[in-house]
Structure 1
Amino acid sequence: MSAQNFKTENITYRKLISNGLIYRIPRFQRDYSWTEEEWEDLWADIMETIRPGGESAHYMGYLVLQSQDEKSYDVIDGQQRLTTLTLVILAVLKNLHRLIDENDQPECNRQRIDQIRHTYIGYLDPVTLISRTKLTLNRNNDHYFQTYLVPLVHLPQRGFRASEHSLRKAFEWFDRKVGDYVTASGQDKGVVLASLVETMSDRLFFTIISVTDELNAYRVFETLNARGVRLSSTDLLKNYLFSVLHRNSEHPNEMNALEDRWEAMVTRLGNESFPDFLRIHWISRRSFVRQSELFKTIRANVSKREDVFELLREMDEDLDTYLALTAPEASHWPPELKGYAQNLRMFNVRQPFPLIIAAHRRFEDKDFLLILKSSVIISLRYNVIGCQPTHQQEQIYHAAAQKISGGEVATAVGALEELKGIYPNDDVFRGAFAEKIIRTTNSHNLRIVRYILCALEKQISGHDYEFDSDSFNVEHVLPQNPEFGWEIFSDEEADAMIYRLGNMTLLNTGTNKILGNSGFAVKKSAFANSDFELTRKIAEDYFEWTPGRIATRQRWLARLATSVWRISQLS
């Protein structure tokens, strides 16, 4: 991003809003959504700046603005704060009008109204009473804002959108707060109201980031998000797509259709997840792109109105599959497919998503099932057990997805051939499994261990246990807190061995609680009567429990695991 396309400065609310510039909420930016919780926080911040001995300045965060002429700005991020501060100013004006109605220094308060309105709101045409405001809201909110709130007329309450009701409620809430504040002051009310506006406008300040186009704005989003400041790149993407329709001559029915489809997708996904879905969707059909380059890539490839609607149509087509992977419980997939999707979510692995989505579009059910199951197996071998780097893995999944989408690969077997580079062979997997340590001190790792042990149990006994069942627990043969009877292990050996997979097995919940930290001789008797073959074999095969025995058992489990998580076409 070149310096001439990017500018940042810290300025007060007064300097921001009283400088003759115009601020517009882009037409299809999200609606006003603040609630009483945010109003309370803002009012508390304002009060802190004006009370004696309070803050001399209060930081209001980032505003991201886009402009080509440095006279009018699109508010890319910060619209909720700017809109609400304007409502606070309007609430002050309403209270000044009441003073005039009460014949309380009418001439002085009339002058105050004119000055405050001109400085912070704009002006009303004296003939038409049409407002010329410094701030323009989005297409859903601006009519209510300009028609009722800015002129300070009667506020109708029926037949409006939820966001318009939110605007009205926010204004009425601040109107009461301002009135209570003035009454409690016990001083000249007109002076108190004017001082409130002057003080808050001098002591509230923002960091303004000004950019010249959508691409630079998107880069700002990526930079700030990487630093933990959550901005909505979803809104920026939406605004760009709508701008494409707008510059290709606006068709109201098309704009409304796009709005409806977009909002339906965002509602189903959630605002935060939308860019993730869009990237995975894009990779599954088109070129590989990193999140930081997504907007640039879309802007380069979606430049005509037909491109916009093709993108939305394709996103609609992939949305159900993506949601079935991220929220499998709510999907309509059969239980076997849901189970594999749940495994991927438990592994916290998303790299196969583009491949899976492409396969769902192009393959028959049998081949899709093989791709999904194979993705789980590769994820267990490569990610969970192998802890291999994901960069190469993502590229290989993408390349396979491209060949499926382009028709070069027409079967699941053909697709699997493309994944050889990220399928650890049996020797590599067996070696990694034999040394694997999984600390079960958090619930996520504990679920993975339960999943692994249940799969191994099924392999040797044929019994299929639900790994999330409350009827059994993971038993650490060498306890997590070893006491008497475990002197054979030094402290260093205990620390190294407790979370080895070879030290873990399955045990009925009640038995597990009774055994606690007992020595191996006591545990062995209970293991011999266990329902689990994995656990009975410990009692049958081992007279004592030592570091060497743990390593031996884990090598046996590794051989068993190699036959459980195996893709015959690749092995």
Structure 2
Amino acid sequence: MSQLETGTTNFLDLVGNGRICRVPSYQRDYAWSDEQWEDLWSDVADLHASEQRRHYMGALVIERLGEREFRIIDGQQRLATLSLLALAVLAQLTALADQGVEPDANRERVMGLRNRFVGEEDPVSLQESSKLFLNQTDDPFYQDCLVQGRAPMNPQGLPKSNKLLWGCFCYFRERLATVEAFTHDGGALAGFLNETIARQLLFIVISIDDALNAYTVFETLNARGLELSSTDLLKNYLFSLVQLPSDRETLQRRWQHLVATVRQERFPEFLRYHLLCQHRQVHRQRLFKMVRDTVREPPQVFTLMQAWQQRAELFSALSDPYHEFWIERADCQPLIKEWVLFDVYQMTPLLFAAWERFSAADFARVLKLSTVITFRYSVVSQMNTNALELIVHDAAKGILDGRLQSPAAVFACLQSLYVSDEYFQQNFALLEIDTSHQRKKLAKYILARLEADGTGKPCDADTDPATIEHILPENPSDQWAALFPPERWASAIYRLGNLTLLETDINRRIANLNYDEKKPTYTTSAYGLTRAIARIAPEWTPAFLQKRQMFMAQRAVHLWREGEA
């Protein structure tokens, strides 16, 4: 049984007495920047200037590798930054010696502090050994430049994380130069490192001798600064299970391709939808635990990676109407445009399953079904997505298990999500879309579909030059108050019945006119939806707005319908 030990320690205890700290080669790159550097500097500067004796830096999770060596599971950002602060102090002491300020004493201080906090010099190669080893991206730069005291030849050409390491070192050099005592008193500067930083900054260390339990402990912690995301945590765990160098190289290649495909920030979303194909409920906060509970051996890691890779490309394609997947599937591209526009992705597990089990034609049919249900259920009716996910899981699992073998069978499984015509019409008749934000595209899409349905002529929201006209303007003048009560303005401006398509130049010209002045212009518009306004509403009042929107809702029932959408 693994032993869990906890205790309080300081920075000197972590790196002193010949101890070596290793960041796993696969762990994420250095990521702290100005905000975190400033926070740390503020803490240590206040600590140094006050009578306060200690400051807690949060928890570290480490895995013991030997008597004097450990692997950092959580805490690499803090330890790396403190090491850079120590290097900045040493650089400042060296500069004082070079300037003739107590040269012998300051050089002796540098030597003693380097041995204590950075590493020891090899008597043969005269190269500095290190107490801290970073990941595969950052360690070469850290060892060859920062530890050896050499400035990079081309800082702007460095990888992002290396730039941050160099920027951190330079930041602390600049801050140290602002403390008057540190510019002429090497003893004060050495004391700042040897006492304030080394002994007064305290950590709660959770030490364990088993990698699996170390990651379990980490899952519950909130670390200072930039925390590991669930993606980072999962990556580190999977890599910790793979020991052979060749296997790790293979895993690294596959992981990089996977994350590049689904994108780092969307990986938790991808993983959640992947798991929902088999599990009825998947909480984002429990993603790591669900994977950890089923993957404990190297073969399971590669089996899992293969399953992810099979779905990653489709996940990416579902967010891109111009993805190569849709080049030979012309019937899918307009549906993907709708899918992206709706920005509601709970149907993703269903599409994963349909892609893997159905023909191209049946997949397109399921995709069409998913967009209709999403529009009725989520976009217009704004119903509970938790209930939706449970039913989508049932359908996805039914496809994968072979119980649902056709789009018709899938629709029967999803029937409870298909909002009834009556309820959909009621909700559509009250629909509001704030066109001052991103949802403007959604409003134009709906109006364009209604326009095409009413005139029988194509009207593509993406390419049609029309703009959205607000019949009651977004900033009504007082003259509107006679027919449209001011207390109703706020709730009416973004009602769908108050919106219409209009030529750009005309819209600009009549934007804030009253209705009697706008009405003749509407009758000359190229858009049938707009020409009909004058016939429906001799004057613009809340009642006529509602009448127009009800008419729109009646047509919407037939436009967004299973079998006809």
TM-score (norm 2): 0.82
Q: In the alignment, does 2:357 pair up with 1:362?
A: yes
Partner of 2:110: 113
Question: Are 2:560 and 1:568 aligned?
Answer: no
Alignment correspondent of 1:342 = 337
8 Å CA contact 1:439–1:445 kept in 2: the answer is yes
| Aligned-pair CA distance for 1:23 | 3.8
**Residue 24 of structure 2: aligned partner:** 26
Task: Report the Cα distance in structure 2 between the residues aligned to 1:486 and 1:13, rounded to whole angstroms.
Answer: 70
Is the 1:95–1:178 contact (alpha carbons within 8 Å) kept by the matching residues of 2? no
Kept after mapping to 2: 8 A contact 1:17/1:119: yes
Distance 1:336 1:48, change over 3 A: same
Is the deviation greater in 327-336 or in 268-277?
Answer: 327-336
Relative to structure 1, is the Cα distance of residues 551 and 171 closer, same or farther in structure 2, using a 3 angstrom cutoff? closer
Corresponding residue to 1:137 among 121, 134, 138: 134
Q: Deviations over 1:475-510 (max 9, x none)?
A: 222233333255122223334433322222211111
Q: 2:232 is matched with which residue: 230, 235, 245? A: 235
Specify which of 418, 424, 428 is matched with residue 423 of structure 1.
Answer: 418
- Tell me if 1:300 matches 2:293: yes
> In structure 2, which of residues 372, 379, 386 is the aligned counterpart of residue 384 of structure 1?
379
CA gap 1:528/1:103 in 2 versus in 1, 3 angstroms: closer
Matched, 1:465 2:466: no
1:401 to 2:402 alignment? no
1:63–1:75 Cα contact (<8 Å) kept: no
CA distance, structure 1, for counterparts of residue 51 and residue 321 of structure 2: 51
Q: How does 1:20-169 map to 2 (within 5 A)?
A: 23-32=21-30, 38=33, 42=37, 46=41, 50=45, 64-67=60-63, 74-94=71-91, 96=93, 105=102, 108-109=105-106, 111-121=108-118, 123=120, 133-142=130-139, 145=142, 149-150=146-147, 152=148, 162=159, 166=163, 169=166
Unmatched tracts of structure 1, length 5 or more: none
Against the structure 1 CA distance between its residues 94 and 364, is the aligned structure 2 distance closer, same or farther, given a 3 Å change threshold? same
Post-superposition Cα deviations, 1:189-239, rounded to whole Å, max 9, x if no partner, equal x32541442476179857758485212322436xx89xx975322121011
1:523-542 → structure 2 map (5 Å cutoff): 523-542=518-537
Aligned length: 551
Equivalent of residue 482 in structure 2, options 463, 484, 487: 487
Letter in 2 for 1:346: L
* Pair 530,82 (structure 1): closer, same or farther in 2 beyond 3 Å: same
Aligned with 1:266 (options 244, 247, 259): 259
User: C-alpha displacement at 1:305, in angstroms?
Assistant: 1.6
Contact between 2:262 and 2:313, CA under 8 Å: does it hold in 1? no
The residue that corresponds to 1:281 in the other structure is 274
CA contact (8 A) 2:96 2:183 kept: no
AA aligned to 2:256 is E
Q: CA RMSD in A?
A: 4.2
Moved more, 292-301 or 460-469: 460-469
* Structure 1 residue 170 displacement after superposition: 5.3
The reply to whether residue 474 of structure 1 matches residue 472 of structure 2 is no
CA drift of 1:390 comes to: 0.5
Contact 2:121 2:128 in 1 (8 A): yes
User: Residue 102 of structure 1: CA displacement?
Assistant: 8.4
Question: What's 1:498 paired with?
Answer: 493
**Mean alpha-carbon deviation: is it higher for 335-344 or for 196-205?**
196-205
| Worse-matched range after superposition: 470-479 or 557-566 | 470-479
C-alpha spacing 1:144/1:502, structure 2 compared with 1 (3 Å) = closer
Equivalent position SS for 2:397: helix
* CA offset digits 1:399-455 (Å, max 9, x no partner): 111112222222222222211111101111112112223333x32232221111111
Structure 2 CA distance for aligned equivalents of residues 333 and 7 of structure 1: 55
Structure 1 residues 491 and 55: alpha-carbon distance in aligned structure 2, compared to 1, 3 A threshold? farther
- The answer for the alignment partner of 1:451 in structure 2 is 445
- CA displacement, residues 539-565 of structure 1 (integer Å, 9 cap, x when unaligned): 223323332222222221111000110
Alignment of 1:512-531 (within 5 A): 512-531=507-526
Aligned to 1:414: 409
In structure 2, the residue corresponding to 1:326 is in which secondary structure?
coil
Distance 2:505 2:56 in 1: 55
Comparing 406-415 with 209-218, greater Cα deviation is found at: 209-218
Residue 93 (structure 1) shift? 3.1
**Number of the residue aligned with 2:210:** none
Alpha-carbon distance in structure 1 between the residues aligned to 2:452 and 2:59? 57
Tell me the SS of whatever aligns to 1:443: coil
Q: How far has the Cα of 1:121 moved from its partner? A: 3.2
Query: Does the 8 Å contact 2:346/2:385 carry over to 1?
Result: yes
Which amino acid in the other structure matches residue 86 of structure 2? I
Q: TM-score, normalised by structure 1?
A: 0.82
Contact 1:477 1:504 in 2 (8 A): yes
Distance 1:136 1:413 in 2: 58
SS in 1 for 2:264: coil
